[in-house]
Structures are given as C-alpha cells and as structure tokens.
Structure 1
Amino acid sequence: MSSVTVHDAIRLALPVSTQIVAGHAGLHRPVSWPVVARGLAPLFTELHGNEFALVSVPALRDIDPPISLPMLIERLISVPISALAIVGHIDGQSIAIAEQANLPLLHLANDVDIRVVDRELQRLISDYDAQVDRRAAQIALELGEQSLAGGGFPAMLALLASRTGRAVAIFSVKGEMLAFHGSSEIKSTLLHIGLTPGTQRVGGIDTWCLPLTAAGHGIGFIVLAGPSLTDADKATVKRAAMALAMELTKTQALSAVEERYRGNFLEQLLAGNLTDPLVLQQRAREIGVDLRKPHVALVFSLPSDQQSQLQSQFVNAIPQLGSTIPWLNHALGVLCFVPADVANSSEKQIVQLVLHDVQAYFPTVRATYGRVALSPSDWVRSQTEAELTQKLLRTHTQPVLGYAEIGVYQLLLPLVNNTDAMVFYHQHLGALLDYEREQHGELLQTLEAFFDCNGNLARTAEAIHVHRNTLLYRLSRISQICHVDLDNTETRLSLWLAIKLHRLVGNRPTDSL
C-alpha cells in the first residue's frame, strides 16, 4: 500500500470541482483512511489520526445537540486529522481556524455524493496504482471528447494541466513548440529543452518528455513540467498520449491542406487566373491574407541538397506568421509574400521579422526580396525582382539582398541571357579573360579594384597590396591586351559594365557590388 498524501487524494480521488479554501501548507500530510460523518452524535466513532474526514454541513444541524462547523474543526484539529472536505457553506471563522492550524479545508460542490468520494478514497489508499490508472483513463477519455468537440490543443492541454497541476507542451518532431498551457516563465524555459524521452531538469524545472506516435512513426512530443513530478503524472500523460497523438495527426493533416490551399491561391494569383476582384478578395480572406496591405516578395534558398528540407519545414520556421503569409515551393527554394503592417515601411523593414525567424530556423539560408507591391497586380513584378536578385546572390557573400540595393544590376540582371549583352561582354573583356586563364595572372582583379576605387591609384595599390609601380605596369598590360585606352571615359564605362556582367556570369564570389 503506497503512502497517500492529501495532495494525492485531491488529484486522484476527489471531484475536479474541489476547491482548497484553507491549509495549503498541509497538503503533503499522509492520509490513513477516509471517514464519513454520521447523522448522529458522535459524528465519528473512532479517530486514530491522519484520517481524511468528509462532512455535510446540513447534517451538523440535524444531530442532537447541534454542532457548529468551527467547533467541529477545532475538535478534529486536536486528533489530528489530515484533511476535512465539506459539502455546504464554509464560513469565514472556519476557514481562519483551519488556516491557522495548516489543516487542508476542502469545499465540495453541493451535488457531490460523499459516499462516492469515500469509495474513491478507499480505492486510492487500498490500491494506489489501480486508482492512478483509473483516473488516468478517465482523463484520457475526457481528452478524446474534447478533441471530438473541436476544442483542439488549447482545450485539451488546459484540461490536462488542470488535472495534473503541471505545465504541458506539445512539440513537433523537429522541436517546434506547437501548443502550451502553463506559466510564461515555464514556456520560456521549455523553448530550450532537448527533446530526449524521459526525465530531465531544465532551468531548475523538472520535466518529463514522452514521444507521440502514429502508425508506428514519431510525430511529436509531449512535455510535462513542474516541481516534483510523480509516477501518477507520468501515468496520466501515457494514457493521454493516444488522444494527443490523434489530435496532432489531425492538426498536421489540416495544416497540410491549408498550406496546399494557400499555395494554390498564390499560384493562381501569379498566373493571372484570379481576374475577378470579388473572387480574389474572397479567396484571400479565406486564408487570412489582407490584400489591402502592401506586400513584398521574398525568396529563400539553400544549397540543393538542403532545399527539400527548407521546403518541407518552412512553415515551422514561421509559426506565428504563417497564417498571414502566402507561400509556395519554388524552383529556387521558397517564395512568399510578406505584408506591411506599418504604413510607409521600407522593403527591409517589412521582411525583417520573417527573415529573423527563418534565419533562426535555417542559419545558412540566403534570401532576396523585391520592391514593395502596393496591390496584387504588382506581386508578379516584386516576385521577378526577388528572383533576379537571387542570381546575383549566388555570386555574392551577403546572405540577404534586396532588389532596391543592387544598383546597376537592376539593368544588367535581365540581360544575362541576352545575346547582344554577351557579345558586348566578350568584346570588351574576352581577351583579358583568355589571358588570365593561360597565365593565371591577377590583371582582372587589378582592373576590378581600379574601378572600385574610382580610378584612384593610391587607393587601388593599397587595396590589392602592391607597389604603385606594379599597379601602373599591370594597368599598362591591361591596355595592351584589351587594345584600349584606360584614360578614355567611354572605354572605362564599357569595361566597368563588362566587369559587372562578369560578376553575374563568371560565378566568382565577391564582397561588393
């Protein structure tokens, strides 16, 4: 027979509606056995100490002679009993007496049958494990009913937290917190938990983690957190796991449908298939997108071997924002449109929050964004700008780049596959590129630095770490190889544009635009 405390009795035998009105300090007192007040004097025939007394206030008035509740409490304190549960009104004097003696004083609802409570307490004390299992099964049944009623995780976790007195969290298999019920302090702590099944102490808080499975596959985790977790807590969570796993499966399936619907909306809009303004607005409202707000196209990319991970887990990177941001898988990675929540915001300000969340989830992700689209008719333009900027990002060291920041490349990017542009590129830079491949020289780097330094010889020599005379010799060789006069303004402009094109087609990283 396990040692049962008042706290155990409240959680595992008493009705959920039970209220503790006094004596919190005595909740860890041991309970020997329940005793029910009789309808005649003496109310209790034999008391040996540590009993859990059950009393109906109306019955106190029916005995001869009548006894007041404060007087009864004082007598029971002298025994002493472990706790007193009352059906009926509890006056302030009774509460004060119980509080002073640290006697747990519990209020039971008027419709509670004391005989049922007595039976549940006897079961708990006689066979603790069996009672734990019965109560856990009851909670699991209630959780299933909550799920069927459409309460979802908010209602289910609130129920589980109220039954256990612990904070409860649901995590995805990737570690994202999907739902939580408890204090904000515990929530902040659990955001850093390692999801290893079993018991661990995190930030001074005891936690217990259990995998959630469906069809033999892990789909997430449930974490219970609070002081001094008990076997009863764990048994309850184990029983609840099936109902929670079913809810998680349902939630994930619904989320997948919503994602497909959201992506379909975006595909239709960008393809120009949603021409009716009323239909467009209705479809947007259905997925939570406010087309009245300006939007900015944002393209995220990762190396090809990680791109599928980016596409499958992108929604997990923006859990707080996903319902307002339409997105879809894209040839370059993921394309999304971010709404401007503040009027007159710049592109960088609009995308900042989404960038922060996605970069925190995918540290190596790279992103480009277009200019603000004031209406849906401008979304394709913003998308095109973000896509074009991705071409430049591939040869650039910055992880994030906006179309408005790339200067002359706004003109050059659309010309990458243009025949005339490539003829121009090879006409002005071809001979120098051939020389560099044969000699493995540094003339192209020198010419780039020369233009980056606006033709200033001292700054150019310092930038490439050579003597001024060496720089002059290299510039002379460039003039000879390319058959150009570097003092001619038109020649400089042509070579500068050719070098800009080289940065797009030459696949060589650079630190500056």
Structure 2
Amino acid sequence: MNDVSTTITVEDIRKLALPLGTRVIAGDGLLGRTATWTTVIYPEDPLANKSLQQDEVVLVAGTNGRAKPGSTDIDIVRWAADSKASAVVLSDMPSPSAIAEAKAYNIPLLILPPDSRIRMVEKTVVSLLVDRKGQIERRGTQIYKQLTQISSRNEGMAELINAMARLTNKAVVIQDKRLHVTEHTLQPQFVAMWEDIESFLRKMDNLPVEMQDRHRVADIDQPVLMQSLPITGMARLVAPVVTKSVGRGYLSIIGHDNDLDDIDLLVAEHGAAACALEMAKLKAVSETEKRLRGTFLDRLLIGDVSQQEAIRQGERFEHDMTQTHVAMVLAWRGDNTPSMRRLETTVNSLIEQQKANALVWIREKEREVVVFHATNPEDPIDTSLKLGQAFSNEIRRMYQNQHIAMGLGQPARDIASWRTSYRDAVQAMELAVRLQTDAPLYIGDLGVYQLILSLSDRDKLVSFCERTLGPLVDYDMRQNADLIKTLEAFFNCHGNLSQTADVLIVHRNTLLYRMNRINEIAQIDLNRPETRLALHLAITIRRLLSMN
C-alpha cells in the first residue's frame, strides 16, 4: 500500500477532504497532480482581482440566487488552467462548454454534492494539507457514519457495496462465510480479468491464513490485510465481517497494488463493520421468518391447518403449496455430530445453488431437518432422489468423518397428504439409520425391509440366518475369506457377474471360483430362484439384526 508522504494530490483531496459523494466530471486520469493549497472563488467576483498560485485547488461557490455571476464556469476553468491550478471543484453543475474546456485544457473538474458549504469544504481541505494524519482519522468517522446510515435506512447490502465503490473507485466484493459472492461492483478496467479474480476469491485456501478460522478472526491484530492476487500488479484489501465474535463473511477492495491507499484501508475497515450490522439485521429477519415458517409447518404436520390457510401462508413465504411435494427427513448418524443448524445451513445452501424450490426447517425435539421439495409432478421420486443424493454428496464433502440418514416419503399431490409423506419419510430415515447408509432411501423401495423389521420373533430370524448362511460365515471366519461379501455384492449388482467382479475388484474367473465354492460349502444351487431369494433375505436380515 502507498506510503504516507508529505505530498498531497488532487485524488487525496477527493478521497480524504471533499464531501462524500463528490463526483469527477472531467480529467479522471489527472487526479495524481500535486495540490499545495486551496482558494475559494465566488462567481459574482471579478477574476481580475484574484491571485492564484500554481498547484492550488480552486473551490467555486454556488450562485444560490445571488447577484448575476461576473464570471462564467467557462471563464473560471480557463483562468484556473492558465494559472496552472491543480483542479477546479464546482458547487453547481457545469455547462457542457465548461466540461469541454476542462478536457481541452487538461484540468480535472469535480462537482460537490448538493448543499455543500464551500467554507466548510475549504476548512477540511486545509486540514488535510496541514494535518494529514488527523484528517484521515476524521474521514474514517465520516465514512463509518455514512455507511451505517445506509444500513439504518434499510437500503440493503447492494447499496453499501456501491457506496464503498464510489468512495474508493475500486472493485468491491462481499462474500458469505462459504465465500459465495453475495454482492459486488466491478470497475470497467477489471472486466477482462474478473473471472480469474473471482475464481481466486472463491477458494478458502486463498484467504490469508489468519482469516481461515472464522471463530478466531475477531482476535487477529490487523482488521484489514493486504494480499497480492495471481494477476500481475493486482492486490486486495480483505477484512473479515464479524458478528458476535464469529466471522460471517469477507469484504474485499480490489485494485492495482500501487493504488491501494489509506482511504481504501479505512473503507475496508469501516465497511466490514457496516456489513456486519447489515448481516446481523438480515440474520435476525431470517431467523424470525424461520420461526414463523417452522410453527406453521409443524401445525400442518399435525393437521391443524386448513387448505385455504396453507395456501395463504405459502404465498407469504413465496411458496406454491399446491405443487406436488415430496417430504425429505435428514438426521445425523453417530456420536459427536455437528449441530442441526449446520445441517440445515448445508441443505439450504445446496437448494439455493440448484435453484430448487423447497421449504426447510429444523424440528429440534426430533433432531431432524425436514425438507418439503416442490418436485417434478411427472417424475417426482427420481427428481427428489437426485436432490437427496446431492445433499448426501455435499455433506460428505464438507464433513468427511460424519454420516447422515435420509428418508423420502411418497409424493403428496395435495396439502392433506403432506402428513403421510412426512411419516413415510421418517420411517425411511429410521431404516437408513439401521442400515447405516448415507444414501437417500425412498419409502416405496423398502417394502421387504419393512416386512422384516415388523417381525417380532427375533429368535426365528436368527435361526433362519444361521441355517441359510451358517456354513459360509464359518468358512469365512476359519479361512479369512470373503464369501459373504461376495454374495452381498452379487445381489447388489442384481446377479450381473461382470459388475460384481468390478465392484469386488477381482478377475471374473476369481469370482466364478468363489460362486462355485459358495454352492459347494452351503450345499445349494444358486441357479434356483428360491435359493437366491432365501440367501438375499438372509443377508438382509443379518444386516438388520446386527444394526438393531
């Protein structure tokens, strides 16, 4: 970042002294000129009586209905250029001719926001020229006040980011805790390289090491860090957005590495604080909406909501309750699992990524996340199973040592059927727990499993397994063999020998040898349908008994 020096430029004055909202009308590329002092000009006063030193900034007061101007804006621009002034700052919108003259004479032309008091502007500019450090601190207070006012007026995160872009004249990006870009502004000079920049920003490993643990970012010594980008000459100032001592996102100000300065640092620091307020406000609104939605859906599942009320509430949540829905119930499996909130957040994020239409809420008492997926009415099961598999894949990616159970109910083509679909999904999820599988299970595919689980005589089930599989289990134990594992793969592949060999990673001849050994040891004939059915049932019962 640029070092603080005694030289003050027009750009320094624009960013550190002129009122927030000042715009450059002409000469945007000339703002690096040195500025040594400032002079106020009133249009009604003759210019002949005014003296101007080289490198001064000319502040022009507004007419405000006073006497007829003695000098036009064109006259002032020409006079300032002839006197080698650094820039002209106007209170009133310049005429097209004055803008053309400024461009012709190569002098920057700026305009103050409405209602600016010219003497106060002069005082601020002088303060910067004689006390840069003090003015930077005062400017930081102004920036924070302006940004927090945007939030208090409920103008939203997008306007916050736009305001920061106007203050810095650089690209500004706000990302959530998963580094998804939620809002950004892009300067024209960065368009060609933006895809590479955004790709870099989305990778967690590319964050400064101090900021990668969002539960510790509140304790880092420097609230804003400068980081080089993988594009020659480009860098960013990055600051964590912290609420309740936890990082909720990241703010980046992006520009050429030799162009990031003190004002950008201030905007990054105070902008992150303003974004934290906005995020906290959005989260509070979101949590309230979640509670209301959860209460409504809990009532729906106990049959306490009429169809008319359900449709009306759905409109409030911007959700069409009349569509075909499939209930999906998810729960963590095992001990020391993440929170239900993390599971819900992961599900919501994936639904947003896939642009799926669903209602999601946590049932805390039941320790489950419920999803009602507005599915494809022509192919409801496969569509929802595909979404469920996406949930499973994403959870496995994010939480590599954790497992979930997921069940899907029958399609509900009317609101009265939501309760039944939910109950089916719970049964399927409970079976997924017993089978210890992360794959989504659809209740319609689980008839045999449900039948076995409904049988109460455990001794008879154990006896059937021992009678059917006993010789194979004993052989596996004595010889450290895999005949039971081979049978499971064989049935999972629907009796296809080539697929079974691929799953077991063995040669087809090795598989044929194992199948012959199964026939010999168990004294059975696998070619008989009744034998295959008995073996498949025995393996299924054995798995269920060991899990239950």
| Map of 2:246 onto structure 1 | 218
1:279/1:466 CA distance change after superposition, 3 Å: same
Output one character per residue of 1:179-213: Cα deviation in whole Å (capped at 9) or x when no partner: 42423946665333526251213454532233444
Give 1:431's aligned amino acid: R
Choose the corresponding residue for 1:347, options 374, 377, 381. Answer: 381
Q: Distance in 2 between matches of 1:107 and 1:372?
A: 63
After TM superposition, the score normalised by the length of structure 2 is 0.75
Give 2:291's aligned amino acid: R
1:444/1:328 CA distance change after superposition, 3 Å: same
1:194 aligns with 2:207: yes
| Map of 2:220 onto structure 1 | none
Q: Distance in 2 between matches of 1:455 and 1:317?
A: 36
| Map of 1:511 onto structure 2 | none
Give 1:141's aligned amino acid: K
1:460/1:401 CA distance change after superposition, 3 Å: closer
1:235/1:293 CA distance change after superposition, 3 Å: same
The equivalences for 1:401-416 within 5 A come to 401-403=440-442, 407=445, 410-416=446-452
| Map of 2:300 onto structure 1 | 269
Choose the corresponding residue for 1:498, options 538, 542, 547. Answer: 538
1:37 aligns with 2:37: no
| Map of 2:418 onto structure 1 | 379
| Map of 1:419 onto structure 2 | 455
1:338 aligns with 2:373: yes
Choose the corresponding residue for 1:285, options 315, 336, 349. Answer: 315
Structure 1: which 5+ runs fail to align? 509-513
Q: Distance in 1 between matches of 2:298 and 2:415?
A: 12
Q: Distance in 1 between matches of 2:508 and 2:428?
A: 28
| Map of 1:256 onto structure 2 | 287
| Displacement after TM superposition at 1:6 (Å) | 1.6
The equivalences for 1:425-436 within 5 A come to 425-436=461-472
Give 1:48's aligned amino acid: Q
1:148 aligns with 2:191: no
Q: Distance in 2 between matches of 1:312 and 1:401?
A: 19
The equivalences for 1:84-99 within 5 A come to 84-99=88-103
CA contact (8 A) 2:360 2:369 kept: no
Structure 2: which 5+ runs fail to align? 212-223
1:315 aligns with 2:345: yes
Q: Distance in 2 between matches of 1:2 and 1:421?
A: 91
Output one character per residue of 1:266-297: Cα deviation in whole Å (capped at 9) or x when no partner: 33322x23242233334433434321222222
CA contact (8 A) 1:214 1:245 kept: yes
1:326 aligns with 2:360: yes
CA contact (8 A) 2:172 2:251 kept: yes
Report the secondary structure of 2:282's partner residue: helix
After TM superposition, the score normalised by the length of structure 1 is 0.79
Q: Distance in 2 between matches of 1:29 and 1:354?
A: 61
Give 2:295's aligned amino acid: N
Q: Distance in 1 between matches of 2:391 and 2:545?
A: 32
The equivalences for 1:4-83 within 5 A come to 4-37=8-41, 39-43=44-48, 45-56=50-61, 67-83=71-87
| Map of 1:127 onto structure 2 | 131
Give 2:235's aligned amino acid: D
Q: Distance in 2 between matches of 1:219 and 1:31?
A: 41
Q: Distance in 1 between matches of 2:63 and 2:40?
A: 14
CA contact (8 A) 1:152 1:247 kept: yes
CA contact (8 A) 1:211 1:218 kept: no
| Map of 1:182 onto structure 2 | 185
The equivalences for 1:163-182 within 5 A come to 163-171=167-175, 174-177=177-180, 179-182=182-185
CA contact (8 A) 2:38 2:57 kept: yes
| Displacement after TM superposition at 1:162 (Å) | 3.0
Q: Distance in 1 between matches of 2:270 and 2:494?
A: 73
CA contact (8 A) 2:412 2:418 kept: yes
Give 1:495's aligned amino acid: L
| Map of 1:208 onto structure 2 | 237
Report the secondary structure of 1:268's partner residue: helix
1:343/1:77 CA distance change after superposition, 3 Å: farther
Q: Distance in 2 between matches of 1:240 and 1:198?
A: 14
1:301/1:452 CA distance change after superposition, 3 Å: closer
CA contact (8 A) 1:34 1:121 kept: yes
Q: Distance in 2 between matches of 1:95 and 1:86?
A: 11
Q: Distance in 2 between matches of 1:485 and 1:320?
A: 48
